[in-house]
Structure 1
Amino acid sequence: MQPSSLGLRRILLLQGLSTARLDAISQRCAWRSCTRDQRLVAREDADCSVHFIVSGRVCVTTYSASGRETSFRELAQGMYFGELAALDGRPRSADVVALTPGLVASMPPEAFRDLLREEWTVNERVLLQLADLARSLIDRVMELSSLTVQQRLCMELLRLAQASGGAAGAVRIEPIPRHTALAHRVSTYREQITRELSSLTRAGVLARDGAALVVRDMARLQHIAKGASTATPPAKTGA
């Protein structure tokens, strides 16, 4: 596909760069469209490019030796992936699969390193992103090693609710997450997710409203995430 700096203006990492700079960057990228469920990056692949998501949405995931899938995060338009391999030259650590049709601009590793040397603002953003990634992975390891499936599911629902802009009261998560996708995110099976969602619904914590999953009580969901029973409401505080 023909390169275009217009698409790169959507990339958060590159915001603030001049049109001339974006034009130069676009010329160093390979542009390609992708289809839903297309694998963009394969684990252990030797490709070390950085990929800018001009449009669409992708999932970073990996598979165990038995074929069980664990998803780490979803990335949307304006974000990027592949910086680890571009920095250290090692094979890919995860698969990246397109969740929707989209457009990706891929920058060779040497061009990406040049960009980091020449643009301190971009360099700083990458450092902050890597710090955030490290913290989130530490949290993820702690969840997988110390929490029950119900707690892990509640933590994931809290993240989705907060990403939807909700902090208290009733919060809508749209569209309703697929049970299979939730299972991949919390490292369990779809059937277990179905059972836990049903339990939370019977307890009045969740409800379905058309294409949305409604968290009716964020405080109660947080309470269950900490290990309380679905039948036990959080203790009220105050005089």
Structure 2
Amino acid sequence: MSPDRSSLGLQHIMLLAGLSRERLDQLARRCLWQTLPAGKPLLLRSERKSDVFFLVSGRLRVTIYAANGRQVTFRDSLEGEHFGELAAIDGQSRSADVVTLTPSVVASLDRTAFLGLLRDEPVVAERVMRSLAALVRQLSERVIDLSTLGVQNRVHAELLRLAQAAGIEGNCARLEPAPTHAELANQISTNREQVTRELNALRREGLLAKEGRALVLTDAQRLVRMVEEVRGAPEPTPCR
């Protein structure tokens, strides 16, 4: 077994952090390991599979395709993350498609082994609960945004989310590689042309700049204020 298909690969999975080497060895032997090229479907919506997946390396996209072919993107998964726990917990079909964005190594753990892991390792069970709670909050916020905000404000909110995920330093954030206009449109349920129009407006206002393959947010605090004003929430502590 190669290093990235052993306990060494699982050491970087955040859900499993702190488990003993012996326990990780047991899990690695129980996992099914896959090496996938970019653009390869890993899971399909409505499949009755119930494995949990660990992203050892690479990048994946969680998305769905409507009957008319329109894509709606939920989130991207990065190295060290896990996914698929909903189907493992309730035994129901998958709720979304998952496709690789870059060449990826994925380890999957069957439902029986995953539920046993939750029973045997309370710290892992707690992390799963926290992850699901965060997912509910994220989806609730997204439903509110889609229901109450116009396209302009949804673009602002999505850029702020991406900036916070990338890390805000000195009131700036660097998104590299920059998300495409089509990707942003899929995230906020609109079309590419509307996203292009709003990004151009932000560039004219000096809030965005293009640097090579990166998109730079030049005034994060201003964007925070713009988003919070339309959401009607109290203004948070300024980013430091």
Shared fold, TM over 0.5: yes
**Match in the other structure for 1:120:** 122
Are the aligned partners of 1:143 and 1:152 in contact in 2 as well (CA < 8 Å)?
yes
Are the aligned partners of 1:36 and 1:100 in contact in 2 as well (CA < 8 Å)?
yes
**Match in the other structure for 1:83:** 85
TM-fit CA distance, 1:164: 2.1
Which amino acid in structure 2 is aligned with residue 155 of structure 1? A
**Match in the other structure for 2:186:** 184
**Match in the other structure for 2:21:** 19
Q: Deviations over 1:11-60 (max 9, x none)?
A: 01111111111111111110010111111100000111001000001111
Are the aligned partners of 1:150 and 1:225 in contact in 2 as well (CA < 8 Å)?
no
Whole-Å Cα distance in 1 between the matches of residues 171 and 49 of structure 2?
46
SS of residue matched to 1:37: coil
**Match in the other structure for 1:43:** 45
TM-fit CA distance, 1:226: 4.5
Which amino acid in structure 2 is aligned with residue 90 of structure 1? Q
TM-fit CA distance, 1:168: 5.5
Whole-Å Cα distance in 1 between the matches of residues 227 and 127 of structure 2?
32
SS of residue matched to 1:16: coil
Q: Deviations over 1:96-119 (max 9, x none)?
A: 111110100010001100100111
Whole-Å Cα distance in 1 between the matches of residues 196 and 187 of structure 2?
14
Matches within 5 A, 1:1-239: 3-166=5-168, 169-226=171-228
Residue ranges of structure 1 left out of the alignment (5+ in a row): 229-239
SS of residue matched to 1:111: helix
SS of residue matched to 1:150: helix
TM-fit CA distance, 1:193: 0.9
Which amino acid in structure 2 is aligned with residue 197 of structure 1? L
Q: Deviations over 1:113-160 (max 9, x none)?
A: 010011111111101101111111100110111111111111111111
Whole-Å Cα distance in 2 between the matches of residues 90 and 171 of structure 1?
39
> What is the RMSD computed on CA atoms of the aligned residues?
1.5
Which amino acid in structure 1 is aligned with residue 157 of structure 2? M
Aligned-residue sequence identity (percent) comes to 50
Which amino acid in structure 2 is aligned with residue 146 of structure 1? T
Q: Deviations over 1:33-91 (max 9, x none)?
A: 01111111000001110010000011110122211111111111110110000010100
TM-fit CA distance, 1:216: 1.8
Query: Compared with structure 1, are the counterparts of its residues 227 and 193 closer, same or farther at alpha carbon in structure 2 (3 Å cutoff)?
Result: farther
TM-fit CA distance, 1:5: 1.0
Are the aligned partners of 1:151 and 1:226 in contact in 2 as well (CA < 8 Å)?
no
**Match in the other structure for 1:237:** none
Residue ranges of structure 2 left out of the alignment (5+ in a row): 231-240
SS of residue matched to 2:215: strand
Are the aligned partners of 1:168 and 1:217 in contact in 2 as well (CA < 8 Å)?
no
Whole-Å Cα distance in 1 between the matches of residues 40 and 152 of structure 2?
31
Q: Deviations over 1:157-186 (max 9, x none)?
A: 111111222165333222211111111111
Whole-Å Cα distance in 2 between the matches of residues 199 and 131 of structure 1?
35
Query: Compared with structure 1, are the counterparts of its residues 60 and 44 closer, same or farther at alpha carbon in structure 2 (3 Å cutoff)?
Result: same
**Match in the other structure for 1:231:** none
